[in-house]
Chain A
Amino acid sequence: MKGLLSFVLLASLFAVGCSGKSAEGDNPKATDSGSGGGKMKIAMIPKGTQHVFWKSVQAGAMKAGTELDVEVIWKGPVTENDKDGQIKVVEDFITKGVKGIGLAPLDDTALRIPVKESQDAGIPVLIFDSGLKDAETVSFVATDNKAAGKSGGMRLGELLKGKGKVIMMRYQEGSASTIEREEGFLEAMKTFPGIEVISSNQFAGPSVETAQTKAESLINANKKGDVFGVDGIFCSNESAAFGMLRALEGAQLAGKVRFVGFDSSDQLIKGLEDGHIDALVVQNPVQMGYLAVKNLVAHIKGETVEKRIDTGAMLVDKANMGKPEVLELIKPKF
């Protein structure tokens, strides 16, 4: 019995200690979570909690929470990319009885059952970042990837003054968001009759390594002696863009071709600084978190909310990369 007693004591001390500490660290307004204070509580469930991208979404969500005086509980699956773990988190917030749930589903199908359970229990669900099939939700708040890809294409067309030969290196088969970006880019290319897309069917593959290999063979295929037969390049995500950057630098071609990439990372920003990349299309995760919370709360308060909300993307280049609103996106402070 003595052992049991000490176990209970230890466990309770630890549990209470942790809850206090985490509440302070994560969200200063979470301390009244147990007492059921009057403030509206909503849950935001990302795909993971480690990536910088999600930290930025969280920052936007917390900002909206402070502005609206709503308690935002930010909680992802314990293991990154654990679909069943994310289902559990949704279920736990249904039983906790939050007023609304914002969810970035790890799978466009597997999360439909808990989302339906939530709605059956009278808790509205808003989807952000990635879509969910066959489900009626409050709204879908995410980057309009097609429009973002198109803006990248328009910029490349302007840089080339409407003429030249262009390569688009795709990201990966079956990745919905990047396929939309690539479609948007090709659409933009069609508006420049002087531009010829000489390659758009090569895939960078899952990693920087595969992307670099593919980029090297693309470069070699278009090199005749010392003449490089390509004027402009577009890559549809971070790993593809970085692989291409490394291949261009290796071939002494960096800076000699116009290059537009997608997403940002420290290395890609360095590429911008060096003049090796002309522009990056950067998503706006802070805005995504902010608009998700804002619209979820609006819906709970009975206001009408748009079914599809574009959180926008921004073209970052050497000229604007020092501005505070751009720095917030490319060098978030966490």
Chain B
Amino acid sequence: MDRKSLVRAAVLPVVWLALYAIGYLMLPEAFGSPRNIETIIRQTIIVGFASIGMTFVIAAAMIDLSVGSAVALVTVAVATALKAGWSPGMAALAGIVAAIAVGAFNGLLVTRLKVGAFVVTLASLLAVRGTAKGIAHETKIDANLTWLNDLTAALNAKTSWMLLPIGGWLVIVFAILGALILHRTVFGRNVIAIGSNPEAAHLSGISVSRVQLGVYLLAGIFVGMAGVSQFARLSVGDPTVAEGLELNVIAAVVIGGASLSGGSGSIFGSLIGALIMTTINTIGSQAGWPTWIQAIVTAVIILVAVGLDRLRSSRTSG
């Protein structure tokens, strides 16, 4: 790790702790209880999974606006499979496959059409949401409760030894895997290379379109996990859920230190970014802020966090 990323790695958790401390000052009872931390982490699982994938996409100087729609499609796929009598494990797998299919669609169009990731994924935002609504016949699909729903459920007396629900641990495991892929493999180095300078990457012999396709497929797996978690929380397949989720995911990745112009990204940072967003939300809810104030505060925190990050990096590089 270079000095810049070391500084960033140290600063972000401190920012989160400071935010938590503010929460504690405002709401000592709630923010002093372990249940509050557990709840915040549970509420971060969906954005957390998706932000791991989005870190790859943004590091490669691309974008994925279809995340919310894909998550909705996954909930519909899982519920449909459960209703058809599939086992919960197979239903979850079906959901993840659906998300990977969306990733393949995005990747193929981006590499073939050459109209840019923004336009392609803007189109798939609409198309995938439409597909989800079509499969669900424009309504939601009820499913029976299974162990899938425990992935994100609050712990009870019998499960409190786990500290976090399984979904929370899975985010951590997937983040470690993601970080290893991004920083320790040829594929990860290629992602950063094409994100920094696609022409140079191409000249140095990297197959840019193959890496781009790979990024969307990989992101599909993480979006699939996010979708399964969303289904676990809702317990129904809902084609209207997660509208605008992609913006929260992008915000988390940007707070985490990635630049939208590509070439950088930290999965650890993205997760802390997601935690910061959830924590603001929790403070807002529990303090009873009107929703419009909460939206403005979140905006200010994003700007302040990213602004500080840019200041810091311009100082270290200059």
Is B234 within 8 A of A3, CB to CB? Answer: no
Is B285 within 8 A of A93, CB to CB? Answer: yes
Is B142 within 8 A of A7, CB to CB? Answer: no
Count of chain A residues near B, Cβ 8 A: 52
Q: Which of A3, A36, A49, A81 has the most CB of B within 10 A?
A: A3
CB distance from A23 to the nearest CB of B (A): 7
In the docked arrangement, what's the CA distance between A25 and B287, Å? 13
Binds B, one of A106-114, A192-200, A212-220, A295-303: A106-114
A22 at the interface (CB under 8 A from B): yes
B27, B36, B235: which contacts A110 (Cβ < 8 A)? B235
CB distance from A44 to the nearest CB of B (A): 10
B154, B241, B285, B287: which contacts A88 (Cβ < 8 A)? B285
Q: Using Cβ atoms and an 8 Å threshold, which residues of chain A touch B149?
A: 113
Q: Using Cβ atoms and an 8 Å threshold, which residues of chain B touch A4?
A: 11, 14-15, 18, 308
In the docked arrangement, what's the CA distance between A25 and B293, Å? 11
Near A by CB (< 8 A), chain B positions 223-278 give: 230, 233-236, 238, 240-244
In the docked arrangement, what's the CA distance between A120 and B235, Å? 18
Q: Which residue of B lies closest to A21 (CB)?
A: B293
Is B289 within 8 A of A96, CB to CB? Answer: no
B33, B240, B288: which contacts A81 (Cβ < 8 A)? B240
Q: Which residue of B lies closest to A50 (CB)?
A: B291
Near A by CB (< 8 A), chain B positions 12-35 give: 14-15, 18-19, 22, 25-30, 33, 35
Is A25 within 8 A of B290, CB to CB? Answer: yes
Is A82 within 8 A of B243, CB to CB? Answer: yes
In the docked arrangement, what's the CA distance between A33 and B311, Å? 37
Is B154 within 8 A of A11, CB to CB? Answer: no
CB distance from A171 to the nearest CB of B (A): 15
B36, B244, B308: which contacts A3 (Cβ < 8 A)? B308
Q: Which residue of B lies closest to A112 (CB)?
A: B235
B139, B140, B288: which contacts A22 (Cβ < 8 A)? B288
Is B156 within 8 A of A120, CB to CB? Answer: yes
A179 at the interface (CB under 8 A from B): no
A274 at the interface (CB under 8 A from B): no
CB distance from A175 to the nearest CB of B (A): 10
B126 at the interface (CB under 8 A from A): no
CB distance from B37 to the nearest CB of A (A): 9
B18, B234, B285, B301: which contacts A75 (Cβ < 8 A)? B285
Interface size, B (range): 35 or more
A91/B42 contact (C-beta < 8 A), A14-B300, A18-B293, A78-B291 known: yes
Is B304 within 8 A of A11, CB to CB? Answer: yes
Is B18 within 8 A of A11, CB to CB? Answer: yes
Near B by CB (< 8 A), chain A positions 24-72 give: 25-27, 30, 33-34, 36, 49
Mask, B67-95, CB within 8 Å of A = 1, is 00000000000000000000000000000
Main secondary structure of the interface of B (DSSP, over half): helix
In the docked arrangement, what's the CA distance between A8 and B16, Å? 10
Q: Using Cβ atoms and an 8 Å threshold, which residues of chain B touch A11?
A: 18-19, 22, 301, 304
CB distance from A56 to the nearest CB of B (A): 17
Near B by CB (< 8 A), chain A positions 162-207 give: 174
Is A110 within 8 A of B304, CB to CB? Answer: no
Q: Which residue of B lies closest to A88 (CB)?
A: B43
A94 at the interface (CB under 8 A from B): yes
Q: Using Cβ atoms and an 8 Å threshold, which residues of chain B touch A79?
A: 243-244
A95/B39 contact (C-beta < 8 A), A15-B297, A81-B240 known: yes
In the docked arrangement, what's the CA distance between A7 and B156, Å? 37
In the docked arrangement, what's the CA distance between A299 and B294, Å? 31
In the docked arrangement, what's the CA distance between A10 and B18, Å? 11
A110/B238 contact (C-beta < 8 A), A7-B15, A88-B285 known: yes
In the docked arrangement, what's the CA distance between A79 and B283, Å? 16
B180 at the interface (CB under 8 A from A): no
Q: Using Cβ atoms and an 8 Å threshold, which residues of chain B touch A92?
A: 39, 281-282, 285-286
In the docked arrangement, what's the CA distance between A36 and B19, Å? 20
Is A33 within 8 A of B285, CB to CB? Answer: no
In the docked arrangement, what's the CA distance between A84 and B18, Å? 26
CB distance from B205 to the nearest CB of A (A): 40
In the docked arrangement, what's the CA distance between A78 and B299, Å? 13
Q: Using Cβ atoms and an 8 Å threshold, which residues of chain B touch A27?
A: 288
Q: Which residues of B contact A (CB under 8 A)?
A: 11, 14-15, 18-19, 22, 25-30, 33, 35-36, 39, 42-43, 46, 139-140, 142, 145, 149, 153-154, 156, 230, 233-236, 238, 240-244, 281-291, 293-295, 297, 300-301, 304-305, 308, 311-312
Given contacts A26-B288, A78-B281, 9 further A-B contacts (CB under 8 A): A22-B287, A22-B289, A34-B25, A91-B154, A93-B286, A95-B36, A113-B145, A113-B149, A120-B156
Can you name 8 A-B residue pairings with CB atoms under 8 Å?
A: A7-B18, A23-B287, A78-B281, A79-B244, A95-B282, A96-B30, A97-B33, A110-B236
